[in-house]
Structure 1
């Protein structure tokens, strides 16, 4: 009787989404997570961060922007409404994961984690406005969006896998190198966030508090981390070749290297041209693509078969962990 009162159970009784539908729903949340980062950047780069001067309403008297607020109010309010669209996509992912038979609890939890991250980031967005675009709250807002993107990528990966225990495809030192690469990239993103907080694009045409560090010096630190990440990427590629690692993993490392190179070109152009808004926006998109690419590398070094024994990860061949020839 209690089960029949569960709305998700009722949906599952009447609708059975295919595995492909669940996978596409998960991928859609990845795309929307990227879009919310880029559009959030557009709000800042157009000086529309305070287009709506309060939260959760746009003005103390109006939920929506008024005519007097002009284009800035429309841009800021549109970004807020895009969060509602994101919630719809996450909601579809939750329902699809829960309705699919057999029910995959881990996949559903990842979908719900996205919902709570969206809600927390909405509150952070409100704090950004209420604190007058304080750079620390702006940075926390961006990093929370990156956390959402991380969980979305993990759900997308899990939607293409089975539920049996994870099976490693390479030896432990190779896996550790891949996670070192992820850690270095995470630090690169954090330092890039500090660069944003110290840089000239504050999000509003009026005077806004900035992080009190030398913008050019922190930019150089950001570049140093870029070199570290590129070096680790190249090193991992050579290691995977030496141990005859999975073809899919080597391909993903190459994809990561290509994205890093493109992002490096964009970063150099934006620095040399004194940070034009359009180029900075492209760089924000690139940061999302770099993060997605680096997360996919360690995920390609293991597999999670389904009950039939199939690898499940769509492009990862089942094999024993590779061992260097010298160790055999």
Structure 2
């Protein structure tokens, strides 16, 4: 569906996408620095819109105050989980309530790291809201309004769920859900760009073979990102258990090895598509997918064999997210030729 819009709106759509990715990067940096609980409440930080820089301005019993607030929120969340049939997850939260409610001491560096992450989220959220209002007031195209509305609703849910991640003291599965919701928001924003950008509106004609190969590559890549979140959960558990970073790799389970093996499968498939289409300038999106995947694999190798350096973890997530976006846009734009299955 081609929708004529102003260049300003197209530019806004791309800027919004960039800020969504910045939120993903900031979130990863928060995790590798252990700053997730730098702000024990949400949306404010230590009850303030601009967080403190020194513990002296906080009440003496601030840890008990915020622990009690989080307890109330967790209990409400447990009731909600039970109401939708997730009694098992609610029980796990209840069984681990004591560890969940452990309140960290104030650390200015961690507080401001988490606060910066929230600022990026605030900007990205307002850009999505601005896009929604722009569409609603000026363009009013049914599909565009629908997609932007869904994106805004998921954004609001994501913001609320972010408060749950904080309240539960970074319970691993909540972080995974938080990440997957971010990918959904990226996907919806890319679809909006597909509908409004003249460049992205151009279809790419490919054979059925190439189309289905790219579909398999995209599917496996998405599965890889999910497996990556499982590996990340294992890392979080090992960190909390006090296992030294250089010993993490010895504790990894099956998801890590599947994640590593599937990476090579994706490389082989996309390298094959790249080789056959390397001279086709119309399919530069495939070329970019190949280049990004190579960098992604290099970062994965560095993670596996060089004791999980923190910044490489952020780079790994960034390139995985970008690869997801590029492949998704490729799937949006590619149209298979019905009359041939040749490469």
Question: TM (normalized to structure 2)?
Answer: 0.72
Partner of residue 41, structure 1 = 28
- Written as runs of structure 1 = structure 2, the 5 A alignment for 1:1-328 is 18-59=5-46, 62=48, 64-66=50-52, 67-68=54-55, 69=106, 70-101=108-139, 103-160=140-197, 169-200=205-236, 214-215=251-252, 217-237=254-274, 247-249=281-283, 251-302=284-335, 323=340
Deviates more, 1:267-276 or 1:29-38: 267-276
Give the C-alpha shift of residue 115 in structure 1: 1.6
Residues in 1 aligned to 2:183 and 2:289: alpha-carbon distance in whole angstroms? 17
Residues in 1 aligned to 2:229 and 2:320: alpha-carbon distance in whole angstroms? 10
Aligned length: 281
Residues in 1 aligned to 2:217 and 2:177: alpha-carbon distance in whole angstroms? 22
Q: Is the 8 A contact 1:44 1:204 kept in 2?
A: no
Q: 1:204 to 1:54 in 2, by over 3 A?
A: farther
SS of residue matched to 1:199? helix
Give the C-alpha shift of residue 321 in structure 1: 5.2
SS of residue matched to 2:285? helix
Query: Per-residue CA shift, 1:284-319, capped at 9, x if unaligned?
Result: 21111111121122223139xxxxxxxxxxxxxxxx
Give the C-alpha shift of residue 28 in structure 1: 1.4
Q: Is the 8 A contact 1:55 1:129 kept in 2?
A: yes
Residues in 2 aligned to 1:253 and 1:104: alpha-carbon distance in whole angstroms? 30
Residues in 1 aligned to 2:204 and 2:29: alpha-carbon distance in whole angstroms? 41
SS of residue matched to 1:169? strand
Unaligned runs of 5+ in 2: 56-105, 244-249
Query: Per-residue CA shift, 1:123-171, capped at 9, x if unaligned?
Result: 2211111111111111111111111111111111111259x9x978345
Deviates more, 1:183-192 or 1:105-114: 105-114
Q: Is the 8 A contact 2:51 2:112 kept in 1?
A: yes
Partner of residue 89, structure 2 = none
Give the C-alpha shift of residue 325 in structure 1: 6.9
Give the C-alpha shift of residue 47 in structure 1: 1.1
Query: If each structure's helix is expressed as a fraction of its own residues, which one has the higher value?
Result: 2
SS of residue matched to 1:275? coil
Q: Is the 8 A contact 1:266 1:279 kept in 2?
A: yes
Residues in 2 aligned to 1:30 and 1:201: alpha-carbon distance in whole angstroms? 31
Partner of residue 315, structure 1 = none
SS of residue matched to 1:133? coil
